[in-house]
Structure 1
Amino acid sequence: MSERKDRRAERLERRKEKQRLEWERLQKASTPWERFRNNLIISAKILYRNKKAFIGFIILVIFLLMATVGPMLIKLDTTTDYMGRYQLPSLSHPLGTDYQGIDIWAQVVHGSRDVLTVAALAAIFTIIGGFILGAASGFIGGWVDTVISFVAKLILTLPQTPVFMILAVKMNISNMFIFAAILSLFGWAGLSMQIRAQILSLKERDFMLCDRMMGMSNRYVIFKEILPNITSYLAINFVMTMYNAILMSVGLMLLGIISYKATNWGAMINMAKQNNPGFTNPVGNLNIFAPVAVMGIFQMACIFFSSGLEEIINPRLRET
């Protein structure tokens, strides 16, 4: 039994050594294009080796295609057809039809564009705001750090959902950029505190001390030294912020606070609930379960992909 374990450990060590040598070979590139290409090859191999991350990546690509190409391939006929109401799933209607006889799958596909666009914009605003404020707080320090930290902690103590509801009602949101900016109001606070902690830790490293002694500019230190070391935080937060933004946006539309297209996932659930009170019609429940299931699959993909994303960005995790 011990000999078998020793042979297994030896094979594992040989495999790790082979991967290490291959990564070193790929990283030796003379031009920026070769370095970019080699980094893509390394990332693809890590993703393929991490089965969960690979599955999550494939699912996210499918969602991206569904939001961009899907509406062009799958036509949505919004004509009311009472004779075709509440049809069971079939080849022509993969998820059946709703209370108006409209195809549920087509609604899910067409609604994905607005939902994912708002979520992506909210994630972008969150990452930009969190990085700028977190970097200023940790790198500059002093009264800047005090003010930003106080505001971030204050925002983290506020109840998110009631604040979002009040802002949505008062501002009468109809622009997705404004909606995304509102959704990012709470996300930047936690991210900025994480980045601040990372920068305070990095400031004591030897390479940062060398940069100060050599008189490097703040711009060089932030973008050449600090940013590469916190990229993993930014990338993982981007993916998870997208999912949280989807939940919040769909929730607000489910409550009817924000008026959006009828194909939006939240609006689909809202209308299905109104036209099928008490869930008395089992077939009518598909109009509710379809967007909920899609959001659950998206959440699973985000979690799976984040695990592999951290391994790609942090080389130290590749040795474990």
Structure 2
Amino acid sequence: MRTPKPQLLRLQTLIYQGCCLLPCGANKNPLIKAWPSSDGFSLQQIADHPGVKSVGLRTGTEDGRIISVDLDGETAVDKVAEHGLNPFTGTFIVGRRGDTYRLKLQFQLTPEQDAQIGPFQGKIHTKDPINGAKGEAVEIFYSRRRQVIIGGRHPSGENYIWLDGCGPDALSAPDAQWWAFLKECHASSLQPSAAIRRGGTPSRNGRSRRANPCPTCGRHDGPGGSNLWCEYSSSGLLFCMPGSTFSAPAGLRVGDVHNGWALKKITQTADGPVHVFGNHDLDKLKRQNNAQAR
């Protein structure tokens, strides 16, 4: 039995408030398969879990009414500042010493606020990826199918920090300004165009069909599943979305076939590579090869 570290012990206040904590690995991934339906772990269970490198906090109405605002870059910080919001104070804030502009703000909605919105995930792109650098965005998570890292080690090797005076005991409800911003993000997430952005690349005529499960990465809803989705276009293409839990197999090249689907192209997005597959027609390939041999 390992002794929980002092920082980990400070998270006990979140458990008292009905929050769900999860053991996570080096790549921010939960270390249990059915994490969206887990009852949560005690601090001792997290400390003892094999391979644990960080602690995840599940969001959503069922788990302490936690809503998380993820600011990924300077332009994301500027975006909330445009709304008159201060992202450096007022609640439980997770940051990184190596990058001042990577922040996660956790709020606990009041029952009255929770009654005004439903589960959602929103994203505001603030900077496109350039020359291999990641894009920047504001992301909002309020769904038990999402968890955010609130302590431990970042994949870069540095440890997460809590801003001064903004540890777990500072967890608060959003004030009027933050609440207006969050409601605006919730309303935007309900628009069709936003739904397509959450799911990824749409078909050319805007019509698509959810792949549940995805035949190439296995993404699905339900226990252990995802709140994102992969899509079939009306022309028969499969858009396989990036993710930490579900994603296309690493190392695939254009022309490779996986589970009957041939990789057509890879499109880089702010969230990662979207793999575009087409149905692998073996007979058609044979006909093409025969024609080329003549």
TM-score greater than 0.5 by the shorter chain: no
TM-score, structure 2 normalization: 0.21
Compare the two structures and name the one with the higher strand fraction. Answer: 2
Compare the two structures and name the one with the higher helix fraction. Answer: 1
Structure with bigger gyration radius: 1
